[in-house]
């Protein structure tokens, strides 16, 4: 069975500062990895995904993530955040047979002016 | 492409009542998923369909929960004899499935409050 751990429940940061949101996963088989963002009162939107190939994945809104198989991590980064990036971020792993998503508990990114 | 829609967006019900939610996926998507999200938690998988066939159900889906996708298009999720513990956001998602895309597109959710 797969599982996802997001160690940081909240990450406060000032505008234009860099940010890293951490995600570690556990799985006995190969997985696909995703980051979703949830703005208040909205559904989840895909930021980026890792299926195979290059371990550095670029997504929307200037976000990127790096897949590290040896450390079973898929951390999300942005070099300079905006106020509008304030949201809840979820890391997820996919079951290859059904592609159902298993989510972490989320990290709330709060960007201050 | 109008996206995934869910109805209603909010539902308040009294304990013991039955409720039904509807999800309309993106039209060409053959896979449809239901998730439940409680406060401070990530979404948890409930069940999924490929076309009209329900292929997997989570142990979270007790006997009081039933989901259908009768014509392989929209889906309904019914909760019978609601309990306060059922209060949550119920999310629907759809995907092309099996095409290599793997992206699930989420609807805005139905927030259920059981009083």
Question: What sign for the dihedral angle of Cα B80, B83, B84, B85?
Answer: negative
Residue in chain B lying closest to A90 (CA): B42
Indicate the pLDDT class of residue B109, thresholds 50, 70 and 90: very high
Query: Which has more confidence, B21 or B28?
Result: B21
Please tell me the predicted confidence (pLDDT) of residue B28: 87
Strand partners, A113: none
Please tell me the predicted confidence (pLDDT) of residue B103: 86
**Which of B10, B21, B30, B42 is best to mutate for the A interface (most A CBs within 10 A)?**
B42
Chain B, 45 to 84: residues with Cβ < 8 Å from chain A are 45, 48, 55-56
Contacts of A100 in chain B (CB under 8 A): 33, 45, 48, 56
CB B4 within 8 A of CB B20: no
Per-residue pLDDT reduced to its tens digit, A81-91:
999 999 999 99
Strand partners, B106: B93
Least CB-CB distance to A102: which of B45, B95, B100? B45
Please tell me the predicted confidence (pLDDT) of residue B75: 97
Q: What is the pLDDT along chain A (113 residues), one digit of tens a residue?
A: 789 999 999 999 999 999 999 999 998 777 899 999 999 878 899 999 998 888 899 999 999 999 999 999 999 999 999 999 999 999 999 877 777 899 999 999 999 99
Contacts of B5 in chain A (CB under 8 A): none
Strand partners, A112: A14
Indicate the pLDDT class of residue B99, thresholds 50, 70 and 90: low
Who's near A37: CB < 8 A, 6+ residues apart?
A44, A45, A47, A61, A87, A88, A89, A90
Please state, in angstroms and rounded to a whole number, the distance separating the CA atoms of residues A92 and A5.
9
Distance from the first to the final alpha carbon of chain A: 41
Please state, in angstroms and rounded to a whole number, the distance separating the CA atoms of residues A81 and B55.
41
- State CA A78 to chain mean position distance: 11
């Amino acid at each position: 069975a797969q599982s996802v751990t997001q160690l940081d429940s909240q990450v406060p940061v000032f505008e234009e500062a860099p940010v890293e949101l951490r995600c570690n996963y556990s799985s006995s088989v190969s997985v696909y990895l995703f980051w979703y963002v949830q703005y208040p009162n909205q559904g989840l939107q895909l930021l980026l995904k890792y299926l195979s190939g290059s371990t550095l994945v670029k997504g929307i809104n200037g976000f990127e993530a790096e897949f590290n198989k040896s450390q079973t991590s898929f951390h999300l980064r942005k070099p300079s955040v905006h106020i509008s990036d304030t949201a809840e971020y979820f890391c997820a792993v996919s079951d290859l047979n059904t592609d159902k998503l298993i989510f972490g508990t989320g990290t709330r990114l709060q960007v201050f002016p | 492409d109008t996206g995934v829609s869910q109805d209603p967006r909010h539902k308040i019900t009294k304990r013991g009542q039955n409720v039904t939610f509807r999800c309309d996926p993106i039209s060409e998507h053959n896979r449809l998923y239901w998730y439940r999200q409680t406060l401070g938690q990530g979404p948890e998988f409930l069940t999924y369909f490929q076309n009209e066939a329900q292929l997997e159900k989570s142990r979270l889906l007790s006997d009081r929960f039933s989901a259908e996708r009768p014509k392989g298009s929209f889906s309904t999720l019914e909760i019978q004899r609601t309990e306060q513990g059922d209060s949550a956001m119920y999310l629907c998602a759809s995907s092309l499935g099996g095409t290599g895309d793997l992206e699930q597109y989420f609807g805005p959710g139905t927030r259920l409050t059981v009083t």
